[in-house]
Every structure is written in C-alpha cells, then in structure tokens.
C-alpha cells in the first residue's frame, strides 16, 4: 500500500531515551517509509532497516498488520490505560515540580508568619453562684447553668469594657477592646471563661483579671438581696509565656500538606497536557497501532561558517 507504512511510521517513530516532535518524526518517516517498501519488496521483512538506525539501535516491533500485539484484551482501542506504575512514574518524573511547589508554599506560610506580631492570651474563670454560697442545691443546678449562659452574654458588653478602660486608663475604644475579648460558658457548668488577647503578655493578664473584678462588682451592685446571683473570679489569669499566634509549626505542617497536594495536582496536569510519547509501547497503547521502529535522537553536526573574504 503506497504511503501506508510512511503514514504509520510518521506517528510512531519515537526515541526510547527522549521525546521527539511531529516535525522530527516526519523527517524520519520519509526515510524509513521508502526503506520499508524496499525491504519488503526484496526480503519480505524490515530487518534491513537496522543498518539505518544510529549506533545500531533497533526496536523489535510487531509487523504492521499485527495490530493486536501487546494490546490489552479488555482495553478499548485507541484509549490510554493507566496503571499504578504509570502514576508512580509520573510522580517520579515530576518530582521536581512537587518539591518546588511544596517549598514555595511552606516558605510563603512561614515567611508570612514571621512578619506577624506575636499575640498572647490570658484567661480567667468566673464561678456563678446563688446567695452567699457557691454550691447551690442540686435542684437549682440546671437553672444556674441556664443563667450562667446569660451571665456570659452580660460579661461581653460595652458596660464592662468601659469600666476596664477607665480603670486601667487604656488608650482604646470599647469596640476595639471587645475585639480582643472572648467569653464562653464551660459546657454544662456554672463556670464562665473570659479571655483577652494582646501583643503584650503582661497587659493581657492584667486586663483579664480586671475584667473579672469589674464584672463581679457590677453583678454584686445589681443583686443585693440574700438570694442574689453572684459571680466570683475563681481562677485568676497568669502571664502567658508563649504566643497563641502565629503558630509556625501548625502553619508549616498545613502548608506542607497543601504544597504536596498542589504539587501532585500540578504534576498530573502537566502530564495531561504533555501529548508526546516516550516509548514505542506508549505510542502503541495510545493509538492501538504497533510501532514501526525506534530511533535514537541525535543531532546533525552544524556546518562550519564560511569565513568572509579578507
């Protein structure tokens, strides 16, 4: 069939060591197409083509008519079949992409963390009770737990913030003060945990303790009867020794996982966009047509430049 072997070989003459472009494959097509027809007409085979390959390189491929050779029986013709080995080889080839992406993400996360101001958090615990005792009757515990939630809401108010700001002569507004304050009820208890975050650890501790004092005083003022509700600072705040943010270790580990995921995704994306073939087997697997020959890639020597007339 005139031109048939040439068209096939134009697609499947590949290098076992490197990839070749369609233009390079086309040049070899013209040479091997003619040699293929001559070899078949004289010897009935393609063994004579071995002499045309550089350094004696030759890939023993099935004949052109044997389209089923080496093709999985359960695989659709013309579709690529990926195995675990193929995926691992892709990861190995693109290991530099994964490593580079991981280094960039981890470096960016750690670098950003180093530029942030360390923040310290101090906490107190306030116990809500009834009357002069701090241990109410068992039938009142559920009611006090529900009341404790309301007390926690009252602690996080501008009234408490204004009192603390005036007491410590802080140069801030109530809204800015409340932004650094957090209040929550310890689950199923009569305990309220009040925390304050600041860039100065000693100031954070001082403010947290003052919040407890001011809140307890305000509760006592509005509840003067014998059965009134009380709020007592049960545990005062200590000066924090380490910042709560930035957490370089946690951020670094999260960035490591994210960098690996992005790197693997980018590696498979680059592999998907790469439509070149690296081996005759891969070409046959993708197209369903056996390879004609394998040729080592080599470069022709450049012609020396002619010196100009003196």
165 with 176: CB under 8 angstroms?
Answer: no
Q: Could you read off the pLDDT of 129-185 as tens digits, one per residue?
A: 876 554 555 556 677 788 888 899 999 999 999 999 999 999 999 999 999 999 999
Q: Give residue 34's pLDDT band: very low, low, confident or very high (50, 70, 90).
A: low
Assess whether pLDDT exceeds 70 at residue 24.
no
> What pTM was computed for the model?
0.57
Q: What is the CATH number of domain 120-235?
A: 3.30.70.1130
Residues 183-196, mean pLDDT to the nearest whole number = 92
Buried b or exposed e, range 75-114, using 16+ CB within 10 angstroms: eeeeeeeeeeeeeeebbeebeebbeebbeebbeebeeebe
* Higher-confidence position of 84 and 164: 164
- End-to-end alpha-carbon separation of the chain, Å? 56
**Mean pLDDT of all residues in the chain?**
75
Q: Give residue 87's pLDDT band: very low, low, confident or very high (50, 70, 90).
A: confident
Q: Could you read off the pLDDT of 223-282 as tens digits, one per residue?
A: 765 457 888 999 999 999 999 998 889 999 999 999 999 999 999 998 888 777 666 776
Q: Which residues contact 78 (CB under 8 A, 6 or more apart)?
A: 286, 287, 288
| CATH 3.30.70.1130 residue window(s) in the chain | 120-235
202 with 120: CB under 8 angstroms?
Answer: no
Residues 59-67, mean pLDDT to the nearest whole number = 42
Q: Give residue 67's pLDDT band: very low, low, confident or very high (50, 70, 90).
A: very low
Structure confidence at residue 170 (pLDDT): 93
* Higher-confidence position of 119 and 5: 119
Q: Could you read off the pLDDT of 273-297 as tens digits, one per residue?
A: 877 766 677 667 666 667 666 666 6
Structure confidence at residue 43 (pLDDT): 47
* Cα–Cα distance for residue pair 91/9, rounded to 1 Å: 30
The share of the chain scoring above pLDDT 90, in percent, equals: 41
* Higher-confidence position of 57 and 243: 243
Residues 32-47, mean pLDDT to the nearest whole number = 50
* Higher-confidence position of 217 and 82: 217
Instruction: Looking at mean pLDDT, say which of 32-41, 87-96, 97-106, 291-300 comes out highest.
Output: 97-106
Structure confidence at residue 102 (pLDDT): 95
* Cα–Cα distance for residue pair 185/148, rounded to 1 Å: 7
SS (H, E, C) 6-20: HHHHHHHCECCCCCC
């Amino acid at each position: 069939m005139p031109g048939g072997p040439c068209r096939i070989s134009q697609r499947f003459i590949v290098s076992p060591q490197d990839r070749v472009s369609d233009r390079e494959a086309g040049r070899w097509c013209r040479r091997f197409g003619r040699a293929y027809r001559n070899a078949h007409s004289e010897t009935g085979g393609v063994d004579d083509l071995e002499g045309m390959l550089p350094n004696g390189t030759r890939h023993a491929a099935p004949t052109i008519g044997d389209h089923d050779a080496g093709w999985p029986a359960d695989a659709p013709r013309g579709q690529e079949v990926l195995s675990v080995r193929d995926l691992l080889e892709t990861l190995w080839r693109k290991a530099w992409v994964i490593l580079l992406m991981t280094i960039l993400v981890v470096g960016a996360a750690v670098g950003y963390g180093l530029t942030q101001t360390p923040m310290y958090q101090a906490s107190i615990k306030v116990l809500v009770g009834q009357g002069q005792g701090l241990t109410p009757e068992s039938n009142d515990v559920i009611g006090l737990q529900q009341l404790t939630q309301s007390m926690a809401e009252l602690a996080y108010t501008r009234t408490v913030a204004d009192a603390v700001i005036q007491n410590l002569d802080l140069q801030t507004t109530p809204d800015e003060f409340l932004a650094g304050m957090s209040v929550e009820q310890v689950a199923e208890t009569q305990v309220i945990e009040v925390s304050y975050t600041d860039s100065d650890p000693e100031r954070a501790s001082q403010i947290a303790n003052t919040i407890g004092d001011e809140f307890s005083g305000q509760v006592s003022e509005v509840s003067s009867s014998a059965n009134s509700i009380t709020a007592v600072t049960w545990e005062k705040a200590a000066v924090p020794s380490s910042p709560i943010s930035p957490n370089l270790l946690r951020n670094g580990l999260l960035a490591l996982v994210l960098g690996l995921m992005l790197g693997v995704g980018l590696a498979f994306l680059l592999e998907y966009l790469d439509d070149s073939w690296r081996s005759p087997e891969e070409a046959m697997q993708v197209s369903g047509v056996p390879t004609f020959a394998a040729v080592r890639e080599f470069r022709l020597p450049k012609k020396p430049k002619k010196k100009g007339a003196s």
